[in-house]
Chains A and B, each alone.
Chain A
Amino acid sequence: MNSLAVPAIGGAELHVIEFGDIVNYFSPYTAMLFAFAVLFTVIAIVSRPERQVDIAFGGDAYYTKDIQPEQLKFQRFMAIACGLATLGAVVSGDVFNFTLFTSMVGITNIGIVAAYKNRHVLNAAFQYGIVAMIATVPLFGGAAIILATTGTLSMWELFGSAIAVPLIAKAFLVLGVMGEGMAPFYVAKAEITRAPGAPYVLIIHVSSLLLFLRVVEIVLSM
């Protein structure tokens, strides 16, 4: 097994998991991202959802927003799936595999927000869903351009200095992750986080931030 390029941004590889041509690895950087993803997945598994309370001003009345058990189960399932997809994406050693996991994160994020019935949340989630669907084109287009121009998808080869990855493929990759994870588009997220059910909504933020950190490392290394 060959090793990562010597001045690797994420540090030298610590542990390698082989799935045929897809060789995942832990470096100090990706291991840290992995640990964060594990932590937040565990939080999503064990924690109870928050229950928002609105207090009527000037009186003793207050409203609590209830979460139905079915919605709780569904959102918890989606949050766990989102956490697992994030785990796969941050340690992936293959560009196409990374884009697949990224796409899965986008779909689970849509699932988490689609379970709400609040109108303003669903309005934002609709825009978010459209962006995530558009984003699959640049995301997989970037991977396809990388395969066509370099002949390989393995990051172990691409990170070496012998292979030059075209700038447009990197731009497409970043653009795709931006759309799937919504990392820079906080407008829709601000609306989405007003919905009750804290740990499940927050995994949307965590997954998109971890994905963005990972794609920046990939693009800088290539």
Chain B
Amino acid sequence: MKPEGQGSIISRISRALSNYDYLAGVYALLVIIITIIGIVSLPFLAYEDVQVYPKHIDRSSPLDPYDRGGTPFNTTAVHAQYPDNSPYLGYVTAYLTPLSQFMADGSHHLGTTIVSHPGGIIDEILYNTRGLDTVVETSILFVAFTIAAYLFRRKD
């Protein structure tokens, strides 16, 4: 067996790769290479104008940037990929609780709060057409909290 740092190129590469301290570096190198290719190919990518989830920003609305329009207690036209699967699409988008309505009338920045007002600010898309995404996102958070709690409470 040849000593460390010798041998063919392949055996040198595989010896370097077998050290897990280099793992993050190797992966970061891959990410950098692909990102550079992505930046070079950026002029060839075109933004698709026909989006399933369009976003119109009305800067003058107090609910900016989350205002999706519509009148409360009425259906609002909300585009979806498969409208047949979401029979109640467009019912919650314009609704604000009385308290939220009061704050929206008095302030221009209700849309910047992260408080979950039923309807209005809460994205209709997340609740009605992409509900499973919301479920998985919260599951990820709960799992992360579980890990943190276990590691914190572990007796070492």
Residues of A participating in the B interface, judged by any CB pair closer than 8 Å: 1, 18-23, 70, 74, 77-78, 81, 85, 88, 94, 96-97, 100-101, 103-104, 107-108, 110-111, 114-115, 117, 123-124, 127-128, 130-131, 134-135, 137-138, 145, 147-154, 157, 166-168, 171-172, 175, 178-179, 185, 187-188, 191
Contact = CB atoms under 8 A, between A and B. Distances in A.
Contacts of A151: 48-52
A107 to B, nearest CB: 5
Given A97-B133, A110-B147, A168 B27 contact: no
Give the 6 A-B CB pairs with smallest separation, nearest first. Answer: A151-B48, A20-B129, A21-B129, A111-B147, A19-B132, A21-B81
Interface string B32-46: 001101100100111
Contacts of B131: 19-20, 22
B18 A138 contact: no
B143 A111 contact: yes
Given A100-B140, A131-B23, A154-B81, 9 more contacts: A23-B85, A70-B150, A81-B139, A114-B147, A135-B27, A151-B51, A153-B81, A168-B38, A188-B23
Dominant SS at the B interface? Answer: helix
B41 A18 contact: no
Nearest to B27: A131
Given A19-B132, A21-B81, A100-B133, A111 B18 contact: no
B85 A150 contact: no
Interface in B114-156: 128-133, 136-137, 139-140, 143-144, 146-147, 150-151, 154, 156
A18 B144 CA distance: 28
